[in-house]
Amino acid sequence: MLQALVWFGFFGIMLAAVLVFMAVTKMEDEKDIAVLFYIPVIFTGLWLFKEVIVFLWPYAMGVK
């Protein structure tokens, strides 16, 4: 539970940093904005994939 809260806090900080960066640079190109938005999404997907692998690995190996 705590790890999830820490991760969502980290995600929120990244999103805020992206918004600040966009405001500072005044990015009008939607493609650049999409790339910046997808970076935290990709990291979140990779993290969830790692969590699933770590959780299911003992079952896959027949330990449990």
Question: Does the pLDDT of residue 49 top 80, yes or no?
Answer: yes
Domain definitions of the chain by residue range: 2-60
Give the span between the Cα atoms of 7 and 30, in whole angstroms. 27
DSSP letter assigned to residue 40: H
Task: Report helix angle 2-25 to 30-60, nearest 10.
Answer: 160
**Which amino acid would we find at residue 29?**
D
| pLDDT, tens digit (0-9, with 9 covering 90-100), for 54-63 | 887 777 777 7
Residue written as token pair 């970076």? 39
pLDDT of residue 23: 72
Q: Which residues contact 7 (CB under 8 A, 6 or more apart)?
A: 44, 47
